[in-house]
Amino acid sequence: MDGSAFQAGDWVEVRSKEEILATLDKQARLQTLPFMPEMFRHCGKRFQVFKSAHKTCDPPSGLQARRMPNAVHLEGVRCDGADHGGCQAGCLIFWKDAWLKQVDGKAAAATAPATSCSDADVMSAIYKPGSTAEEPLYACQSTELYSATSPLPWWHFQQYVQDVRSRNVRVSQIVGAFFFFVYHEITQAGIGLGSAMRWFYDGVQKLRGGTPYPWRKGKVPKGVRTPSAKLDLKVGEIVKVRTYSEILETLDEDWRNRGMYFDGELVPFCNGNYEVLGRVEKIIDEKSGRMTRLKNDAIILKDVACEARYAKCRHFCSRAIYPYWREIWLERAK
């Protein structure tokens, strides 16, 4: 795998604007990955590497993981959408090795493109071909992720070696994920043990203070509208995520509440207290590039992001996407 020269925990400095522009082609890309204008304000600043981005996800193209060469995520550095119509998705930014240098002076070799890039090229690359003022079609790292990556089947063992070598995860986490995968597959095998195994799993997890079995169907029958609640939560408020059993009462059999999916990756955060980071009202559709306005409440919480603990095809994806929460899944902390 084309792993990054940097590991989780390393301190790096973002190169200068001039150095970065020298690595980009006329479409403001390096190895097909866009460099976005929102990233310029980080030039010259120092950050700690959050994780190697050798493995990522691209939901519009399916569940399978994708291989990203020579890139990392930096601690807390997310896109603010300022140059992309105010998109509020808050995606963790991908940084190619060539855009960074180690604080101690060691640096990865920059990859030089055939042509140089200018500030104006970076700004014009915000839009896809065919975009108009009336209907802008945005291009960003998320919309172009498919072309910047390649398929990574879950059974390729080298990715898990890279997970450990990059310090993204510990060996114990890899082992735990493997055992959960096997356990989950047995519960789904249709041999009459699923209910008993889920009950046993919950019992053991309760004793050790762990997460309950994360894949249970919602309780709202088909054809019945899922419930809602209005809390008018504000940024900075402290909320408590309801228990998993309470949230299941608000979901249909497809794990959805008014169209919003409640993923198993959210279960570890149930019953915890968190700060409201924001209300999401508009995001760029990663497949089309169109700005989409969310019809119902969607809350993001501080320090709550997907950790890819249970995803069969993309275990330990480092993208750390913010999950969205319905207000009915939350309550004000007492």
Q: Which of 61, 92, 87 is nearest to 75 (CA)?
A: 92
What is the structure's pLDDT at 113? 54
Report the pLDDT value the prediction gives residue 108, as an integer from 0 to 100: 54
Say how many C-beta atoms besides its own lie within 10 A of residue 253's C-beta. 11
Q: Looking at residue 193, what is its pLDDT? A: 83
Could you tell me the pTM of the whole model?
Answer: 0.92
Sheet holding 273-279, edge to edge: 299-301, 273-279, 238-241, 330-332
Across the 334 residues of the chain, what is the mean pLDDT of every consecutive 10-residue run? 88 96 96 97 98 94 92 98 97 97 68 74 95 94 97 93 95 92 86 86 90 93 94 97 97 95 96 97 96 96 95 90 97 92
